[in-house]
């Protein structure tokens, strides 16, 4: 577990911003991944919210080996097995009940379990997790929650996701206990429906620049 937790910390820190994508076709998956990569974001979370998700994950791992892909919205052991079989580099959950936490602890790839309260994070910490997703971040206090967690859970690091935008990304990244932020602001639904992947690429490039500036200021 410690080695996998270190790998999880390293990949989140390297990513800085984790685009959270949901795809409906393989072509859409290719186009979005390419736009994000061209914009400078080489790590993404592909949610398991559509029937095509696992196929898209496997396809991207075959065709775009330079992209690090996490399977998101992992809800149960079946999702874990399917994601690992498809080649996922890591796993992300929106929340982590005890049974799922046990299954994640047994997984042989890095995992980022999600939670929303101090009690949940303490339960994950008891199982050896030190790098977690705060979700839905803004709804449960956002920056104030992260600052509040920093004292009692001083050895834990977070990837807040939910309600983060280009406007507040830098402020979240400035928090010492934040490894990475998750978001979908660079994946506007209207742009995708219009096939305007240039807008995705441009917004991804600005997100990558925010990460670079935040790191320079730390």
Rounded CA separation 6/1 (Å): 9
Annotated catalytic sites, by residue?
A: 45, 133
Backbone angles phi, psi at 147, to 5 degrees: -65, -35
197, 29 contact by CB (below 8 A) = no
SS (H, E, C) 94-161: CCCCHHHHHHHHHCCCCEECEECCHHHHHHHHHCCCCEEEECCCHHHCHHHHHHHHHCCCCCCEEEEE
Torsion, Cα of 178, 45, 190, 37 (10° steps): 90
């Amino acid at each position: 577990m410690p080695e996998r937790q270190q790998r999880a910390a390293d990949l989140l820190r390297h990513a800085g911003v984790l685009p959270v994508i949901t795809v409906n076709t393989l072509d859409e998956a290719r186009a979005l991944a390419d736009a994000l990569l061209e914009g400078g974001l080489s790590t993404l979370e592909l949610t398991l919210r559509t029937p095509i998700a696992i196929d898209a994950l496997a396809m991207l791992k075959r065709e775009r080996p330079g992209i690090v892909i996490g399977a998101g919205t992992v809800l149960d052991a079946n999702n874990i097995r399917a994601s690992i079989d498809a080649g996922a580099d890591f796993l992300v959950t929106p929340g982590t009940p005890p049974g799922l936490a046990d299954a994640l602890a047994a997984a042989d790839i890095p995992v980022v379990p999600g939670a929303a309260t101090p009690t949940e994070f303490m339960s994950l910490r008891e199982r050896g997790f030190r790098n977690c997703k705060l979700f839905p971040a803004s709804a449960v206090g956002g920056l104030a929650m992260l600052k509040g967690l920093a004292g009692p859970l001083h050895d834990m690091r977070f990837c807040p996701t939910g309600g983060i935008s280009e406007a507040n990304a830098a402020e979240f990244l400035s928090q010492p206990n934040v490894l990475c932020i998750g978001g979908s602001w660079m994946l506007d639904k209207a742009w995708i429906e219009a096939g305007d992947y240039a807008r995705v690429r441009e917004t991804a490039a600005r997100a990558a620049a925010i990460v670079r500036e935040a790191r320079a200021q730390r």
